[in-house]
Amino acid sequence: MKRTFLLLLLFSPFWSYSQQLISMADAISKGRTSLAPSSLRQLQWIPDSDKFSHVTADKIAIFSARDMKSDTLNLLPAINDKLAAQGAGKLDRIPAFNWTAPDKFWFQHESVIYAWDIRESSLKRLNWFPQNTSGTDIHDKSFFTAYLKDNGLWVSIGGKELGIAQSEEDGIVYGQSVHRDEFGISKGTFWSPSGRYLAFYRMDERMVTKYPVYILDSMPARVNEIRYPFAGAKSHHVTVGIYDTQSGQKWYLNTLPEGGDPEQYLTNVAWTPDDRYVMIAVVNRAQNLMKLNLYDATSGAFVRTLFEESSDKWVEPEKPAVFIPGNNSQFIWQSERDGFNHLYLCDLSGKIIRQLSRGSGPVTAFYGFDTRGDKCFFQMADSTGLNRIVCSSEIRNGRMSVLDAEPGTHNGLISSNGEWALDVYSDLDTPREVFLSRWNDSRKKTSVFSAPNPLTAYKTGLTSFVSIPSPGGFSLNARIILPPDMNPANKYPAIIYVYNGPHVQMVTNSWLGGGELWMHHMAQNGYVVFALDGRGSANRGFAFESAVHRRLADAEMEDQLAGVNYLKSLGYVDAERIGVYGWSYGGFMTTSLLTRPEAKGVFRCGVAGGPVLDWRMYEIMYTERYMDTPDENPEGYRKNSLFNYIENLNAPLLMIHGSSDNVVLWQHSLRYIRECVRKNKQIGYFVYPEHLHNVMGKDRIHLFEQIEQFFRTNL
C-alpha cells in the first residue's frame, strides 16, 4: 500500500520539490556529518538504575524511564578544573565515557584513564600509559591496559609498564590482529574476567611472502614490505599466549596437537567467568571443520573439544562464546547449523542444551543479558533480509519475544535489569527515531527523539524497493532511485552500483534504503541509480550466501543480469545506456560484467575500483573459504580469472586503484593494464598514490567527481 501511494505521488503533478541540488562535494564530505540524520550522542543506559543518558552540547542529559523526568549535568567546567590541578590538558567537550555506577563514570584523556564521581565532584587517575601506542585494550574493571609499542606487547598497571613480549625478529608479532582480520577477529589481546590474566596472539609470518608497497616521498622511493599470504601459498602460524599480571610469567596454550597442521585458524577467543579456562574455535586451513576447544588457562594444556561443526562448503565462526551471568559453565554460541545464524545455549561438557533463537533470518547482533541472566537480547533480520527486529529469549526455555515488529531497522539498547528498552529506529523514509518502552509492553512507547529530515531543502527523487526473482530460486532485494521531476515518457540512463560479495548487504529498510548521497546526486543529474543484493551477499542465510562456493561471479552475474532485465522492462530506462560501478568485490563484479561472455553487450561502460582480477593473487583466508585452493579447484580459478576475458573488452572501462592497497594488491590492476596494452585494448586507468584499499579523506571528492565525469562522457 505504501509503495503504491509513493508511486502515485511520483507521477502526480501535485508532487513538488524544493530546488536545491546536492553537489558531489557535499554528498561525499557531508554525507556522514551535516547531511546525515542527527542522533542522541553517547546514548546509553546507566547501570543498576532505570535511567539513561546522552550528551547534549557540553552537558550530560539524564532521563528517568519511569516518568521521563530529566536532569542536566554541566560537568565539563568542574572536570577541566580537576584536570588542570593534575597538570593535564583541557577537554573541549564531554569525552567518550562509560558509566560504572549511577553516579560514576570513566573516560580516557591524553593516555590517562580517569574516574569521575558525580556526588563528590572528584577526579581520580585509574591508570596511564605512554602516548604513541596502538592496539589499546582496557580491562573494564581493573583498568589494566594492554597496548603495542616498539614492536612489542606491554601492560600498564597503575602507570607501571610491564613488558610482555618483544618481537624476536622481523616476521614475528605479538598482540596484533591475526588471520587478516577474518573470522570476526579485530584485535590481538583478550583480558580475563578478573583482569589478572591477558591472553594474546603470537603470529609467526616469517614463512609468508614479502610484498613491496612503495613510499613515494623519498629519493629514491623506499619500500615498505608487508607479509601477504596468497591463495595456495604458505600461511602464517599463530599461537595464543597467557600473561599473569601478578607473577609476570607467560606461557602458551597447547593449540597444536602432535602431528597437527600449524596452518590453522585460532578464532573467537573467550574466557570462562572464573578465569580457569580459555575457549578457542580452531578452524582447519580448508575451513570445512571447526573444533570448539577448551584449554586450561594456568597450564596451557588442552582439556577437550566441546563440539565440532563441519560443512562441505565452509564454516566461519565469527563470535566468541558469551557466558550466562553468574554461571561458570553455560554459554551462548552462535552457529549456522540450521541454515541461519542462531543462538544456542551450551555447557562446558559440550552439550547443546537448547536453541534460543529461531527463524528464517539470522541473528545480526547480540546485545547481552539482563542482570540475573534470565534473558538474552539480540537483533535479527527478518525472512526478507530487509528489516531488523529486536528480540529476547528466555534462557530456561528458549521462548522468544519481539520488541516491535514494525517494518524497518530496529536497534536496541536494553536496561541492565531487562525491564526497559530504547529502540533506535529508521526506515526508508524515517531518518531516525528513538522510542522508549517497557520490554513487555512496547505498544505503550514514548518518542524520546525524532531526527528531522536532513534533506528537506534538497531536491531528491523517489527511492523504493523492488523484489526480483533470482535464477537460483530466491527473491532478490533491490533499491531504485529515480530522478526528481521524472517524466515516465522519457528515457533515462541507469547506473548499477554493485558489490554482491560475502559479508555485505547494500539494500536495507533503513534511511534512504541503505543508499548514499552520491547516488542521489547522480539521480538529480538524470540517472536511474540501482543496486541489487544477489546470491552471495549477507543476511539471507547460508544457502543464499554459499551459492557462490568454488565459482565466484557465476551466480552473482546471473542475479545482476536479472536486475538488468528488470530495469529494461521499465519504460523510462534506456536499455542502451546502462553503466555499472563497484569497488573491491564490486570492482571484480564490474570487470566481470563488462568482459565475461554471459553479459556480452549488456553494459555501455563501467568503473572498477580496487578490483580483484585473479583470485590466485588474493589472500588465503578469504579466497580459500569460497574457492578452495588453486590446486583443488583449477577450473574455478581459471573461469573467474578476468585476464582470460580481456579480448571481450569492447566498452569503456575506468579502472582505479590505490598504490598502497594492502588488501587487493596494486599488482592486480597493473598486470591487467599490461595485458590490455599487449592485446591492444583501450582502458581508462587512474592511480591514487599512497591510498590504501579505498580513497578516503578529501581525495574522495576527487574520486567521485572523476566517476561522475566518466559516466557523463560515456552514458
- Residue closest to 372 by CA, chosen among 418, 441, 323: 418
Q: Which residues contact 632 (CB under 8 A, 6 or more apart)?
A: none
**Residues of each domain in the chain carrying CATH 2.140.10.30:** 132-304
Residue 459: how many other CB atoms lie within 10 Å: 18
- Residue closest to 434 by CA, chosen among 445, 421, 424, 420: 424
pLDDT tens-place string over residues 298-355: 999 999 999 999 999 999 999 999 999 999 999 999 999 999 999 999 999 999 999 9
**Residues of each domain in the chain carrying CATH 3.40.50.1820:** 15-36+454-714
Separation of alpha carbons 612 and 634, rounded Å: 17
pLDDT tens-place string over residues 53-101: 999 989 999 999 999 999 999 999 999 999 999 999 999 999 999 999 9
Burial of 92 (0-12, 13-18, 19+ CB in 10 A): exposed
Separation of alpha carbons 424 and 410, rounded Å: 6
Model pLDDT, residue 522: 98
pTM value surpassing 0.85: yes
Separation of alpha carbons 458 and 475, rounded Å: 33
Report helix, strand or coil for 479.
strand
CATH entry, 15-36+454-714, from 3.40.50.300, 3.40.720.10, 3.40.50.1820, 3.40.30.10: 3.40.50.1820
661 an active-site residue?
Answer: yes
Write the single-letter amino acid at 360: S
Cα–Cα distances in angstroms (integers) from residue 290 to residues 305, 308, 366, 544, 677, in the given order: 10, 5, 21, 21, 46
Separation of alpha carbons 55 and 64, rounded Å: 15
- Residue closest to 449 by CA, chosen among 462, 430, 468: 430
CATH 2.30.30.100 is held by the domain 132-304? no
Instruction: Look up the CATH architecture of domain 321-453.
Output: 6 Propeller (2.120)
pLDDT tens-place string over residues 117-145: 999 999 999 999 999 999 999 999 999 99
C-alpha cell at 643: 585476464
Q: Which residues contact 270 (CB under 8 A, 6 or more apart)?
A: 190, 278, 279, 280, 320, 321, 322, 323, 331
Burial of 397 (0-12, 13-18, 19+ CB in 10 A): exposed
Of residues 167, 693, 699, 702, which has the active-site annotation?
693
Give pLDDT < 70 ranges for the chain.
1-18
- Which phi and psi (to 5°) does residue 28 adopt? -85, -45
**Residues of each domain in the chain carrying CATH 2.120.10.30:** 321-453
Answer whether 466's CB lies under 8 Å from 478's CB. Answer: yes
Percent of the chain with pLDDT over 90: 95
Model pLDDT, residue 15: 37
Length of the chain: 715
Antiparallel, parallel or unpaired: β 237-244 and 222-227: unpaired
Separation of alpha carbons 491 and 570, rounded Å: 9
Of residues 661, 668, 669, 691, which has the active-site annotation?
661
Residue 90: how many other CB atoms lie within 10 Å: 11
DSSP H helices in 585-627: 585-595, 620-627
Output DSSP code: residue 524.
H
Of residues 584, 592, 660, 669, which has the active-site annotation?
584
Burial of 318 (0-12, 13-18, 19+ CB in 10 A): middle
